[in-house]
Amino acid sequence: MAFSCDLCQKKPKSGNNVSHANNKTKRVFNPNIQTVRAVIDGANKKIRVCTRCLRSGLVKKAV
């Protein structure tokens, strides 16, 4: 899946756009996914993680 975090499995959520006239149309809330070089099992790999996982320190970035 394109928009999912490799660590926390955060995925797109669906909801509604609500206009001022209270008209509702479907929309998608995508997580903010970034591609990062990280150290996994002693090797550098590219993973796709959300910015919350990056900010909370769940990812050990490769130097």
Could you tell me the pTM of the whole model?
A: 0.79
User: pLDDT digit of tens for each residue in the chain (63 aa)?
Assistant: 578 999 999 999 999 999 999 999 999 999 999 999 999 999 999 999 999 999 999 999 998
Residues 2, 16 contacting (CB under 8 angstroms): no
* Rounded distance between C-alpha atoms, residue 49 and residue 18, angstroms: 29
Backbone φ and ψ for 12, nearest 5 degrees, come out as: -65, 145
What domains can be seen in the chain, in order of their start residue? 1-63 (2.30.170.40)
* Rounded distance between C-alpha atoms, residue 44 and residue 59, angstroms: 12
